[in-house]
Structures are given as structure tokens and as C-alpha cells.
Amino acid sequence: MALPKLKDIKWVTTDCYGTLIDWEKGIVEACKKEAVKDGFSFEEGPFLERFFEVEAEIMAGSYELYAEVLRRTIVKVAGEQGWEIEPSRAQFLPNSVAYWLPFREANAAMDRLGKKYEIGIISNIDDKLLGISRRHLRTELDLVVTAQQVRSYKPDPVHFKEAARRIGGKKGWLHIASGYSTDIAPLLKMNVGQPPRRETGRAQSAQRDGQKPPRSSKKTRRRLNRRRTSSTAFSSVHGATPAAAAGFAP
């Protein structure tokens, strides 16, 4: 769906991890710190790739708190790579959420949005862990929808349906996120407004028409779903600066 008319926007929601919080960096730093105790090391790229694959598989099963998802994920991924972690030791990863920091521009962008619109976060997280992350996010929120509240994980659309219920419908609602499969795809089906994204070629055409990116852009899809860069999480990844996406002057 195209960006709603700026005068009609009343609500702006955002994903949290990978959009506001640099979770890739947080996960890698926590795992490296723990691995060095065992004299183990790993390549960041393949490690994260497998980490998010396993995490998605676990999320697709019966609902569990995200803290348990993190514990199960690291135990399996580490074991596959020859780093054996006892389940009782895996708590280091949920504990590390306290040290996952926002992207550089996230707080300033949210502050600008909050001056003009009702603001919310819709996230695949526990209430407790999000509360910990919110210590790093200074903007007051008008809406919070978590996986724990709806007992499900995106891309199941129940997060967004619950958000729509609470804000009184889809009209005047804009959602900002970096994940195609978790956020963009289900919202396209729900016809909820999103900022334009900077895509090129066939991937651009497919996204504009509300379709998944073509098979040849599999790596691009993975990058959109998972890749986070500290200086562009809220701008280049979304295809618009927060100001342009939400109607602010530079």
C-alpha cells in the first residue's frame, strides 16, 4: 500500500529489534563474549544466518516466551558448530538484551514522530524484555503489542490485527519496519500503509505490486529481513528518512 496522505496519518508504529534496537550486534557481542570462555570462535555471517533460521523455526512452533526462544536457539546453533552449551547456561543470551543498544538515529527519529503522531511498537518479544529495551528508548509510547500479549510471532498477522483493534482500525495508520516477511508482507495483505522502500529492478516492481521479491533476489530478501546497519536502520532500510516517511521537515 502506498504511503497514506500525510494529513490523514494519526498513528505511526514500528518494529523494535532490527529497526530501533541493533539486535544483530547485541547477539554477536553476547555470543562472542560467552564463546571466548571456552576458547571457541565463529564467523559472524554464517553464525547469524543460521541463528535466525533456527529462531524462525522455533517461533513457528507452539508459542514460548522469547527468552526461551533465545535459549533454545543458541543451544542448537552453538551445538551445530561444535560449541556445546548446556541449556542452563543459555540464559546469558536473554540476559544480554539489556545491553542491546539503539541505532544511532533511532531516538531522535522517534522523538520527532512522537511530537506529531501517536506512537507504538509492535514486536516479537516478551513484555519483560521489551521493558528492559525501553530503558534505551526515551520516547513515550501510546501503544505496545508484543508476542507475549498475543501469544504468537510475526509473520502471523495477529500482532497487527490486535494493533488495529486497539487504535480503532487501519485508517490513518503507518507502520515502519525493516523485515519483509515478518512485517511488510502481512501488512500488505492487510492494506496498512508503509513508507516507500529503496529497492531496484525486479525486487522493486514486486514490492510495489504487493508481491514477494523474485527468487533471484533471495539474498536481498534475507538482507531486508535480517540485515541491520547502525547508520541506516531507520532510513535507508525503510526507503525513507523518518522525516520524509512521516511528514516532518528535515
- Buried b vs exposed e over 1-20: b needs ≥16 C-beta within 10 Å? eebbeeeebebbbbbbbbbb
Mean pLDDT, residues 126-143 taken together: 97
* Alpha carbon distance 2, 158 (integer Å): 22
Mean pLDDT, residues 21-31 taken together: 97
Report if pTM > 0.95. no
Fold of 23-99: DNA polymerase; domain 1 (1.10.150)
Is 126 catalytic? The answer is no
Q: What is the largest CA-CA distance in the chain?
A: 57
Nearest to 245 by CA among 19, 28, 18, 29: 19
Residue located via cell numbers 507475549:
148
Grid cell, residue 206, equals 514486486
One of 3.40.50.1000, 3.20.20.450, 1.10.620.20, 1.10.645.10 is the CATH number of 6-22+101-243, namely 3.40.50.1000
Mean pLDDT, residues 128-145 taken together: 97
Within 10 angstroms of residue 62's Cβ, the number of other Cβ atoms is 6
For the purposes of burial, counting CB atoms within 10 Å of the CB of 82, is it exposed (0-12), middle (13-18) or buried (19 or more)? exposed
Q: Predicted confidence band at 12 (pLDDT cuts at 50, 70, 90)?
A: very high
Q: How many helices (H) and strands (E) does the chain have?
A: 12, 4
pLDDT in tens, 204-242: 333 333 344 444 344 434 443 444 333 333 443 333 334
Q: C-alpha 51: how far from its chain's center? A: 15
Residue 127 or residue 184, greater confidence: 127
Domain residue ranges of the chain, discontinuous segments joined by +? 6-22+101-243, 23-99
Q: Which of 8, 15, 127, 156 is catalytic?
A: 15
* Alpha carbon distance 218, 109 (integer Å): 30
Q: Predicted confidence band at 109 (pLDDT cuts at 50, 70, 90)?
A: very high
Q: Predicted confidence band at 6 (pLDDT cuts at 50, 70, 90)?
A: confident
Task: Give, in degrees to the nearest 5, the angle at Cα 142 between 231 and 168.
Answer: 115
- Kindly compute the dihedral angle of the four CA atoms of residues 52, 24, 134, 34, in this order, to the nearest 10 degrees: 90
* Alpha carbon distance 236, 63 (integer Å): 33
